């Protein structure tokens, strides 16, 4: 995603902008974001695309688009921009009193219960879902600035692996669009060619309201977005230490959880899985 061009040679604060993908990259490592903004090659984007196709994400996207087009006014890949922030949205629907944002992910759930996004003993966002919810929260931050008089309703579109519908039959009705260097990247990578009305009546997608997750994360996202812009302008070199600490803490937590899951006691019986 490329923001509107700034005057050649300009290095003013207003020329530095922060996109959704910038925010997600800088949240983990501000230096990676700084290198991207400086024009260094970024293998992360290629790796993400490979992972996206490996997970059949383009098929989930095609199905979601077909289902969501029940609203003829829905827009896909719409870009919102406010001051120095901008975000491209998977799905955007505008109504008289509200805006509905949909983030489409090739990730599976067992139900539509939003409680799965939170840790068991607190209202903190579950680590398995944190990156997705940070992504959505940034989108909501930009949308609320663009539409101050409307309520923003964020939701995540995921796959319900317990759905009884005929998944194989649905996938057989998806046509892939051949990739090329000149292809419009705002257009879908696959389209559903089957009976759309039948699909809308019986599919395996869940559209789950994540407003509570967004409300929990919004203070951190607002503060971090402002901090990253300051870092890119050379005003906050100290934030890299916080990022290193955060990544180390996450790695330690993940390692402890995996160890608790696979360890066994002396009698050969597995320990109870640690719950976060």
Q: 156 pairs with which residues across the strands?
A: 103, 208
How sure is the predictor about 239, in pLDDT bands with cuts at 50, 70 and 90? low
Which CATH number goes with the domain that contains 117? 3.90.320
Q: What is the pLDDT of residue 106?
A: 87
How sure is the predictor about 26, in pLDDT bands with cuts at 50, 70 and 90? confident
Query: Does residue 88 belong to any structural domain of this protein?
Result: yes
Q: What is the pLDDT of residue 251?
A: 47
Lowest pLDDT segment from 42-46, 82-86, 188-192: 42-46
Provide the percentage of residues in the chain whose pLDDT is more than 90: 46
Measured between alpha carbons, how far is residue 139 from residues 132, 243, 257 in Å? 11, 22, 30
Mean per-residue pLDDT of the chain: 78
Q: Which of 136, 133, 19, 37 is nearest to 79 (CA)?
A: 19
How sure is the predictor about 42, in pLDDT bands with cuts at 50, 70 and 90? low
- Record the tokens describing residue 27, joined without a space: 């949240």
Q: What is the pLDDT of residue 35?
A: 65
How sure is the predictor about 182, in pLDDT bands with cuts at 50, 70 and 90? low
Q: Are the C-beta atoms of 205 and 160 separated by less than 8 Å?
A: yes
Phi, psi at residue 195, to the nearest 5°?
-75, 105
Q: Beta strand pairing status for 18-19 and 85-94?
A: parallel
**What confidence tens digit (pLDDT) does each residue in 85-127 have?**
999 999 999 999 999 999 999 889 999 999 999 998 888 999 9
Query: Does residue 273 belong to any structural domain of this protein?
Result: no
Q: Are the C-beta atoms of 190 and 176 separated by less than 8 Å?
A: yes
How sure is the predictor about 275, in pLDDT bands with cuts at 50, 70 and 90? very low
pLDDT at 52 over 90: no
Query: Does residue 89 belong to any structural domain of this protein?
Result: yes
pLDDT at 244 over 70: no
Name the pTM for this structure.
0.72
Query: Does residue 227 belong to any structural domain of this protein?
Result: yes
**Rounded CA separation 62/192 (Å):** 6
pLDDT, mean of residues 229-254 = 61
pLDDT at 84 over 60: yes
**What confidence tens digit (pLDDT) does each residue in 247-270 have?**
444 544 444 444 444 444 434 443
Q: Which of 203, 168, 184, 164 is nearest to 65 (CA)?
A: 203
Query: Does residue 260 belong to any structural domain of this protein?
Result: no
Provide the percentage of residues in the chain whose pLDDT is more than 70: 68
Q: 85 pairs with which residues across the strands?
A: 18, 82
Q: What is the pLDDT of residue 46?
A: 46
pLDDT, mean of residues 219-241 = 83
Q: What is the pLDDT of residue 233?
A: 82
Boundaries of domain holding 56: 16-255
Query: Does residue 244 belong to any structural domain of this protein?
Result: yes
pLDDT at 271 over 60: no
Total domains, the chain = 1
Q: What is the pLDDT of residue 162?
A: 86
Q: What is the pLDDT of residue 253?
A: 47
Query: Does residue 9 belong to any structural domain of this protein?
Result: no
pLDDT at 36 over 50: yes
**Rounded CA separation 87/83 (Å):** 12
Query: Does residue 264 belong to any structural domain of this protein?
Result: no
């Amino acid at each position: 995603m490329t923001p509107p061009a700034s005057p050649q040679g300009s290095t003013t604060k207003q020329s530095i902008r922060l996109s959704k993908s910038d925010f997600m990259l800088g949240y983990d490592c501000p230096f990676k974001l700084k290198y991207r903004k400086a024009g260094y090659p970024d293998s992360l984007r290629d790796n993400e695309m490979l992972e996206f196709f490996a997970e059949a994400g383009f098929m989930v996207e095609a199905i979601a688009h077909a289902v969501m087009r029940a609203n003829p006014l829905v827009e896909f890949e719409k870009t919102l921009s406010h001051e120095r922030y901008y975000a491209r949205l998977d799905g955007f629907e505008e109504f008289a009193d509200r805006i509905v944002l949909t983030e489409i992910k090739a990730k599976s759930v067992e139900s539509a219960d939003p409680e799965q996004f939170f840790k068991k003993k607190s209202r903190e966002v579950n680590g398995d879902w944190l990156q997705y919810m940070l992504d959505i929260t940034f989108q909501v931050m930009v949308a609320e600035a663009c539409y101050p008089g409307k309520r923003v309703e964020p939701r995540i579109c995921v796959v319900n692996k317990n759905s009884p519908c005929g998944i194989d039959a649905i996938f057989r009705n998806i046509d892939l669009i051949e990739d090329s260097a000149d292809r419009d990247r705002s257009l879908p990578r696959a389209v559903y060619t089957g009976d759309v009305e039948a699909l809308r009546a019986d599919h395996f997608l869940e559209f789950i309201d994540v407003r509570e997750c967004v409300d929990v994360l919004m203070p951190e996202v607002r503060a971090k977005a402002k901090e990253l812009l300051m870092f890119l302008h050379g005003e906050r070199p100290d934030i890299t230490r916080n990022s290193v600490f955060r990544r180390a803490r996450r790695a330690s937590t993940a390692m402890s959880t995996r160890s608790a899951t696979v360890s066994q006691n002396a009698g050969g019986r597995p320990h109870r899985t640690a719950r976060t």
